[in-house]
Amino acid sequence: AKSNGRNAVCFFDPEMQAAANIRAELETDLHRAIQFNQFELYYQPQVNQQGHILGVEALIRWHHPEKGLISPLDFIPIAEETGQIQAIGLWVIEQACFQLKQWQDKIDSTFSISVNVSSKQYQNDSFVNDVVEIIQGLAIDPKQLKMELTESVLSDNVDTIIEKMWQLQELGIGFALDDFGTGFSSLSYLKKLPLNYLKIDKSFVQDLHHNTSDAAIAKTIVGLSQSMNIDVIAEGVETELQLKLLNSYGCNIYQGYLFSKPVPAEDIQFTVSELLQD
Ligand code: C2E
Ligand code: CA
Ligand code: CA
Ligand code: CA
């Protein structure tokens, strides 16, 4: 609504309108993105203290024909709202499993690919079946597939989601709780979920060396994972100092620019990182 009255509120905000237009365009273009092969998975190594690659996290990229490379932060939320995340999410899982096959000669049986799974995907009744079909279709060892979920997975329909997670874990799929500590869910959920990893969010890693509360949170997450008898992965590790501090807390799996940015499949290095060879 637009008003010319002197004291009336002007509802028309050109900036907001521009943002809405961009969003509407992206939403339309998203419908064709799978069909036109515009998505690509980048992979970021997850390494141990020695710099050995244990696996990778798959991170989606959208090569838009006019707008260029679009960040998942700019289109995953739209896809979640519109329901397009169902198809995109399955594409991600299938592509990751396909990549696992491609890498077969370069990796051992413990190497894993982690995919991000949106809470919306668990709301779909056929999700577990769809995953089983992909795994069986490509003859993948389910132990090599991991799913990362955020605390938002626990917002609604908690019981059905947890039920599906257990079904998937029974198949051999592992679960990591992503962005742990950034949400608002109760710690009591932790014991209900079939978790194999907690991930320390990069927001806690960034200022580790001079922010005492971030350091305390990181330490607490490591301690929690130890008492739950599961592993912990630190995300967003960019400096040797962050690595050293996290290691002193007892963290033993790392991911971050210090080792590698997310890269296309063909650029993944399977050999020990030279960084840590000294
Ligand atoms: P996330 O799952 O928390 O992924 C980690 C993000 O941190 C990635 O951003 C990664 O590129 C970035 N990162 C990794 N190491 C460093 C570092 O050392 N420093 C800094 N500053 N950043 C680092 P990206 O790839 O832009 O993805 C953003 C988010 O988009 C992801 O956050 C995830 O929530 C979502 N996302 C990505 N791919 C998918 C997908 O296939 N499905 C779903 N549902 N969400 C996805
Ligand atoms: Ca993740
Ligand atoms: Ca994160
Ligand atoms: Ca996230």
Residue 156 has pLDDT above 80, yes or no: no
Confidence category of residue 10, pLDDT binned at 50, 70, 90: low
**131 CA → ligand 4 middle, Å:** 22
Mean pLDDT value of segment 186-197 = 87
| Closest residue to atom 23 of ligand 1, CA basis | 236
* ipTM (interface predicted TM): 0.97
Pick 258 or 9 by higher pLDDT.
258
The best mutation among 34, 62, 69, 116 to test binding of ligand 1, ranked by most ligand atoms within 8 Å of the C-beta, falls on 116
Pocket of ligand 1 contains residue 174 by CB under 6 Å: no
pLDDT given at position 278: 47
- Of the chain, the percentage scoring pLDDT greater than 70 comes to 93
Q: Which of 16-30, 134-148, 227-241 has the lowest mean pLDDT?
A: 16-30
Mean pLDDT value of segment 214-237 = 95
pLDDT given at position 6: 56
pLDDT given at position 1: 46
Mean pLDDT value of segment 178-188 = 79
Pocket of ligand 1 contains residue 231 by CB under 6 Å: no
Nearest to 114 by CA among 22, 19, 269, 233: 233
Residue 2 has pLDDT above 60, yes or no: no
Confidence category of residue 276, pLDDT binned at 50, 70, 90: low
**pLDDT tens profile 88-98:** 999 999 999 99
Residue 34 has pLDDT above 50, yes or no: yes
Mean pLDDT value of segment 242-265 = 97
Average pLDDT, the chain: 91
Q: State pTM to two decimals.
A: 0.93
